[in-house]
Structure formats: structure tokens, C-alpha cells
């Protein structure tokens, strides 16, 4: 059984990670506070207990990864999440990104296509702490029509194209942050759906994600 202990050593390392993210250009204090509040080592195998506070992606189950803290902070900052906003996340993975959004007060709807990772949410340590996260097993390309429209959408896997159904599920004035494939790497884009339905596209840094794949995997 994994022990969930957040020691002074973990807290100290986490504080250093937050300082590092600040030097790398993350300036939204609400994002930094959320990262400081969440024990990232709880989301990883105990083999990574202290390494959890390195600014690195690590393997999780089903050959997937927990995103690098800088990437999580970067996407969250671009998303400009406000309290009580409805946020759709594609790619639950380790539940770390969902937790950052939930810690910031968002109402999170997260979709995962890997059954093994979806099932892991049942043992999720923060289930009672974050009742504002709702888990779904499905294909993120389809989104969640039953819960649309969303204020914000965040895609945490490399998208081959901008999923049209997700644009439909975004409310007018809403924003989507998406790492869009550009060959070997992905370009981070922020797409704003204007009130007249047209799209504004802003382009940011390059990142490297696991692929966004169609269909479910059981
Ligand atoms: N947000 C996660 C990152 C996980 S990596 C975290 O904080 O840990 C990306 C995840 O996206 C993987 O778990 C992968 O299985 C999932 N994924 C890929 N394509 C998907 C799709 N079409 N629908 C839902 N999830 C998808």
C-alpha cells in the first residue's frame, strides 16, 4: 500500500519547484499557489517519491505520462481559469492537471480513453477533497455534449488537428488551449471563440506530448 505522507522535505522541494517555475516565466500566482498546494508525489509511483519535484514528465500506467510541471503551469496560465468555470480536460492521465484546475476552483470534467487510467480515479486520494472533478471514460475527440457548453477546454495530448466537436462545445467567449502537432513537436495554441462564432488563434511555445488518439482502449 502506498503511504500518502506529505513531509517537510516534500514541501521544501515543492517550494523550490514553484520558485523554478517563476524563473521560467510563470507569473499567475493562483497557478503557482495551486502547484504549491498539491503533493505531486501522490500522483506517481513511490519510486519517484522525491523526484516528483523535478521539472520533468514521468511515466504513469498504460505507457502514458504525467506532464512536466512547467507544461501544466503553462497551459493552466494560458487558460485563465476563474472560480466556478466549467472546464473540459482531454486526457485525465494521472489526474494531476485536473487537480490543479480543481484547486483553483474550476468545475472540472475530464475524459480519459485508457480504461486502466480511468479506473485509477476510484482510488484517487483527493476524491473527497475535489468533488468538483467529474471523471469520464471516452474519446476526447467527441467531447461531452451532455454537459456543454464549456467556459474553457484544455487538451493534454498532442492533437493532430483542432477537434471540430470541441469547438462546438465551447461557449461564445470561451477559450481552448491545445498542443497542435507540427511534425516532431507541438505548438501550444490558445483559441478564443468570439461571440460571433469566429475564432481567434494565438500561438505560443513548442512542447512534446503523448499523442491524442481516437477511440477508447480497454
Ligand atoms: N493531464 C494528464 C496528462 C496525461 S498524458 C496529467 O496531468 O497527468 C495524456 C493523456 O491523454 C493520456 O492519459 C492519454 O491516454 C490521454 N488521451 C489521449 N488521447 C485521448 C483521447 N482521444 N481522449 C481522451 N484521452 C486521451
Residue to substitute in 94, 156, 165 for testing ligand 1 pocket (most ligand atoms within 8 angstroms of CB) = 156
Known catalytic membership, residue 94: no
Indicate the angle between helix axes 29-37 and 96-103, nearest 10 degrees. 120
Q: Into which CATH architecture does domain 59-207 fall?
A: 3-Layer(aba) Sandwich (3.40)
Please report, for residues 3, 20, 57, 132, the alpha-carbon distance to residue 127 in angstroms, rounded to integers and kept in the order given: 16, 29, 23, 9
**13: nearest Cα among 45, 35, 44:** 35
State residue 23's pLDDT score. 98
- Cβ 64 under 6 angstroms from ligand 1: yes
Note down pLDDT in tens along the chain; length 218 residues: 677 999 999 999 999 999 999 999 999 999 999 999 999 999 999 999 989 999 999 999 999 999 999 999 999 999 999 999 999 999 999 999 999 999 999 999 999 999 999 999 988 989 899 999 999 999 999 999 999 999 999 999 999 999 999 999 999 999 999 999 999 999 999 999 999 989 999 999 999 999 999 999 98
Query: Rounded to whole angstroms, how far apart are CA atoms 85 and 76?
Result: 13
- Cβ 189 under 6 angstroms from ligand 1: no
Residue to substitute in 31, 65, 92, 142 for testing ligand 1 pocket (most ligand atoms within 8 angstroms of CB) = 92
Amino acid at each position: 500500500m502506498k503511504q500518502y505522507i506529505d513531509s517537510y522535505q516534500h514541501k521544501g522541494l515543492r517550494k523550490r519547484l514553484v520558485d523554478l517555475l517563476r524563473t521560467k516565466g510563470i507569473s499567475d500566482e493562483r497557478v503557482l499557489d495551486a502547484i504549491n498546494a498539491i503533493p505531486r508525489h501522490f500522483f506517481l509511483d513511490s519510486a519517484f517519491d522525491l523526484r516528483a519535484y523535478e521539472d520533468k514528465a514521468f511515466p504513469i500506467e498504460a505507457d502514458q505520462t504525467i506532464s512536466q510541471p512547467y507544461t501544466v503551469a503553462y497551459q493552466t496560465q494560458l487558460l485563465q481559469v476563474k472560480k466556478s468555470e466549467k472546464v473540459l480536460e482531454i486526457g485525465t492521465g494521472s489526474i494531476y492537471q485536473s487537480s490543479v484546475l480543481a484547486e483553483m476552483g474550476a468545475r472540472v470534467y475530464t475524459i480519459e480513453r485508457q480504461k486502466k487510467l480511468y479506473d485509477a480515479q476510484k482510488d484517487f486520494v483527493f476524491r473527497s477533497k475535489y468533488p468538483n472533478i467529474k471523471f469520464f471514460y471516452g474519446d476526447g475527440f467527441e467531447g461531452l455534449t451532455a454537459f456543454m457548453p464549456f467556459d474553457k477546454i484544455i487538451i493534454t495530448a498532442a492533437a493532430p488537428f483542432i477537434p471540430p466537436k470541441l469547438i462546438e462545445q465551447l461557449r461564445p467567449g470561451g477559450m481552448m488551449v491545445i498542443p497542435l502537432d507540427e511534425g516532431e513537436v507541438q505548438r501550444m495554441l490558445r483559441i478564443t471563440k468570439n461571440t460571433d462564432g469566429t475564432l481567434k488563434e494565438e500561438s505560443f511555445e513548442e512542447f512534446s506530448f503523448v499523442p491524442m488518439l481516437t477511440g477508447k482502449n480497454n
